[in-house]
Structure 1
Amino acid sequence: MDADEPELVLASDGVTRVLRRGDTVRRPVRPFTATVQAFLAHLHERGFDAAPLPLGHDEDGREVLSFVPGDVPVPPLPGWAVTLDALVALARLVRRAHDAAEGWEPPADAVWGDLPGATSPRPGPTDGAPPGAPPEAVLVAHQDYCPGNVVFRDGLPVALIDFDLARPTTRVADAVNALHWWAPLVDPVDRSPALAEADAAERVRVFADAYGMTAEQRALVVPRALWRARRSPARMLAAAEADPVFRRWWDEGVKDRAPRAAAWLAAEAPRIAERLR
């Protein structure tokens, strides 16, 4: 690769820039970079090629990943990104990633990314589960399916990028993260226009069907979603207090959207649970 090849800015939050050089992506190294690269290598070894390939470091000490071509939707989401076909494809993509991740043993010195200032734990095998429910198996998964981390081609999700928040979790807890963004599990006033009238309960069912969730997994979706939503405002506030980028997002509306989502989900929970049965 020619070191003089121009670098194009793919993303920037005002502090960190993600650059493209040819068919590669260059990013600053963070404490969790080595762990994420090991996880990505495992996914590829298991045949999951719908994620960046880890390529080590460049001459400037930056992380190097393969560039994943395609379309990454940005808010307000276009209609082609929120079709039921797209939702089905996303659920199947998440299932493939989970199947590939299952059984991976992280290195003993693994470091995981999280929100700045985070102190509360991510959902574990029993968090949010109804009393008496058997614990879920733990696996490492993506945990951040915001639209900017899903690559589309021809109107369908084909790959996942930005594994910075990947960490040990459970299949249902990770699926709930995807559903938060793509059902979506937020108040209609905070959705992109293309999803303003969407039947979130029906979209949750479509996702669960496409993923191939068992009856036991379906029974955990709503409790885990409620667990996540109740804790989200405090987690986002802690991130805002620790990081200026998150402070900007908090002030620009997250401070209102997060508690509104929790209230909306609490009201809709019975209908979502019924649709999942």
Structure 2
Amino acid sequence: MSEQEEQLTGGNTAESVVRLGSTVRKPVTSSTPAVHSLLAYLQAVGFEASPAALGIDEQGRQVLEFVQGSLWSSVGTHTQTDFRRVGTIIRTLHDAAASFQMPEEAQWNVRYEPDERDLICHNDLAPWNLVCGADRWVFIDWDAAAPATRLWDLAWASIAFPPFEPQCELPRAATAMHALLDGYRLQRSSYGKLIKLMVKRARAEHDFIVEGAQKGQEPWARLYVEEHHRYWGPVSDYIDQNASALEELLASLKGSLHQTSKIER
């Protein structure tokens, strides 16, 4: 008896994502060859927090490793140790990706221009893309991987994981963000620049959804109807208005002994 495909839910942009046995099948994009070369490289250097890329199936779909576990966003309460673990995973990813040699013909899915282009980043490091298994935590959905910077990638995670909301308890969000940055080993001198990029990234996401909807482009028109832009715009404003207070809170919190490596961007 052949295995049945199981529709997977939770994604916002892919048209159809299914599970077939121990694999995930999803549509190919123009960036798929480049993304699969990145995933193959990460696997080769021992990075365990990304799924294996297994090629293209007979229907022309991407084939990726299915990772057992629950999404971070569905788990519930998280400890400071959990946030530090996320930060450590992101740091390990960036350190590994820094030595990745991009194929000359590589095409990447760049939604909007990052601050700079230093290395290939995931660009959607968020609770809805982190599968937490018993022995392994894995970031999925690499279709938005593209050249950016460490802080550009980290800014997105710093918004999404605490999470920051348009009207949230700033000390609580700052404590979670600090644990994540502590796991990443980010120097305090970089906090101000990171916060500015958080504002910029959230605003860019808002504008991208609005502009996509105005042009009738999917899935952005659907995301606009679902009012995703009403999160990203206000949260950008909230972080901007509280930037000084947030930086002071982060600086006042005690870090671990691992916070020694300097990341400028």
Q: Same fold, TM exceeding 0.5? A: yes
Count of matched residue pairs: 249
In the alignment, the residues of structure 2 paired with residue 150 and residue 98 of structure 1 have an alpha-carbon distance, to the nearest angstrom, of: 16
Tell me which residue corresponds to 2:203: 230
In the alignment, the residues of structure 1 paired with residue 193 and residue 17 of structure 2 have an alpha-carbon distance, to the nearest angstrom, of: 36
TM-score (norm 1): 0.81
CA RMSD of aligned residues (A): 2.4
Tell me which residue corresponds to 1:218: 191
1:256–1:61 CA distance, 2 compared to 1 (3 A): closer
Secondary structure of the corresponding residue to residue 7 of structure 2: strand
Give the deviation of 1:167 after TM superposition.
0.8
Superposition map of 1:84-233 within 5 A: 84-115=80-111, 120-124=112-116, 138-154=118-134, 158-188=137-167, 199-233=172-206
Judge conservation of contact 2:209–2:223 (CA < 8 Å) in 1.
Answer: no
Opposite residue 59 of structure 1, the aligned amino acid is: E
Give the deviation of 1:254 after TM superposition.
2.2
1:263–1:15 CA distance, 2 compared to 1 (3 A): closer
Tell me which residue corresponds to 2:57: 58
In the alignment, the residues of structure 2 paired with residue 13 and residue 264 of structure 1 have an alpha-carbon distance, to the nearest angstrom, of: 24
Residue 76 (structure 2) aligned to one of 70, 79, 84? 79
In the alignment, the residues of structure 2 paired with residue 165 and residue 257 of structure 1 have an alpha-carbon distance, to the nearest angstrom, of: 20
Give the deviation of 1:198 after TM superposition.
6.4
Secondary structure of the corresponding residue to residue 25 of structure 1: strand
- State the Cα deviation string for residues 102-158 of structure 1 (Å, max 9, x = none): 12121111111144xxxx412216xxxxxxxxxxxx11111102322100125x971
- State the Cα deviation string for residues 221-256 of structure 1 (Å, max 9, x = none): 112112223333212212323424322221222232
Identical pairs, percent: 28
TM-score (norm 2): 0.85
Judge conservation of contact 1:27–1:63 (CA < 8 Å) in 2.
Answer: yes
Unaligned runs of 5+ in 1: 126-137, 190-195
Secondary structure of the corresponding residue to residue 218 of structure 1: helix
Judge conservation of contact 1:51–1:68 (CA < 8 Å) in 2.
Answer: no
